[in-house]
Amino acid sequence: MKPRVMIGLSGGVDSAVAAYVLKQQGYDVIAGFMRNWDAFANNDMLGNPTLRDPMCPQEVDFEDAEKVAKALDIPLFRIDFIQEYWDHVFTYFLKEYELGRTPNPDIFCNKYIKFDAFLAFAKSHGASLIAMGHYAGRVDRDGIAWMEMSADENKDQTYFLSQLSQQQLTSTLFPIAHMPKAEVRAIAKKLNLIVADKKDSTGVCFIGERHFKDFLKNYIPAQPGVMIDKASQTVVGEHEGVFYYTIGQRKGLNIGGSTRFASLPWFVVEKDVKRNILYVAQGEDNAYLLADTITVNTLNWISEKPKVGDTIMARFRHRQPLLPVTITSLTDESMTLIFPKPYKALTPGQGAVLYLPPYCLGGGLINEVFYQGHKR
């Protein structure tokens, strides 16, 4: 028999089919369900024990994971990483918002929880490998593991895995890497698994779908202020707190419907945290949304570090098409990327992930954004 592997069983269809594939391949499969969010415990950590979060989607997911594990005859462990998630993911998430940035907690959830704390737990239970139902692949060449993009481009999750280390990748299997989603669901239906038609999870990693502004208000109190039109420098509305908005945001601004303004949509283009001002501008092609240069920090290279002068592909959002960029400076701590044409709505705090298709090299986080020499 092949070595023991612990699959991260989430209660969704992807990890369920991944577990099945591992068994078919002859691995000694055990499973772990990660419980990382507990509103009661987390609010006690925050010093606000009266704050309550009624949503608990993890309990439903755990019940589904139990049924899948039973159907596949796989031992299932329930693992609490609540403290680890709070320390390494959620506190970072809150601090970034307080700085006016827009973090992507899923990237660090993968780095510190799913592929670190979970890996340590798996090894303590005799597993030399872990496996996930992510749409990403691993290819070993000359002793180096490369992260490969998924065959299902619409589902590719390498963007969220860009902070993994070489050691983490070499310890991981991705059993459904080359399957389209339709095939995954077809296998689950053939096996009569309860999750075959379960919808994909969305929202913040382990926290789930929320009315995000209301959720964030639990942790960062509202600080109302003015919205200012960047072009005319006139007040056009009020905001509930600059922390709750992201660059490029269109919905929820409540400016439209007035005869004072043209019919063009409004977009968030800048956040001034110190003065509590939210700057907006009209039109999808307004210059205030554009960027031609960014700096990137928190760098991580999975397999190969690129070089200054390389023209390479990048992605700044999950599911965004790959875009060409050129590296003009690169140190261990930061890099500068320039673009052949301006790109829209690049947001400090979000991932800047580099690719040599079909491989994901890694990347970092957007730190500063510039257009025509001026910092956004």
Catalytic residues, by residue number, are 109, 205
Structure token pair of residue 111: 């780095």
Taking alpha carbons only, the member of 242, 214, 246 closest to residue 226 is: 242
Q: Are strands 129-131 and 4-8 parallel, antiparallel or unpaired?
A: parallel
Q: Output the CA torsion sign for 36, 39, 40, 44.
A: positive
Q: What is the dihedral of CA 346, 349, 351, 354, to 10 degrees?
A: 70
Q: Quick one: which H or E segment has residue 269?
A: strand 266-272
Q: Letter for the amino acid at 161?
A: L
SS3 letters across 73-99: CCCEEEEECHHHHHHHHHHHHHHHHHC
DSSP state of 362: E
Q: What SS3 class is residue 17?
A: helix
**What is the spatial distance between Cα 370 and Cα 376, in angstroms, rounded to a whole number?**
5
- The answer for residues whose C-beta is within 8 angstroms of residue 8's C-beta and 6 or more apart is 15, 31, 32, 33, 34, 114, 118, 130, 131, 132, 133
Do 105 and 204 touch, CB atoms closer than 8 A? yes
Q: For residue 213, what is the enclosing H or E element?
A: helix 212-217
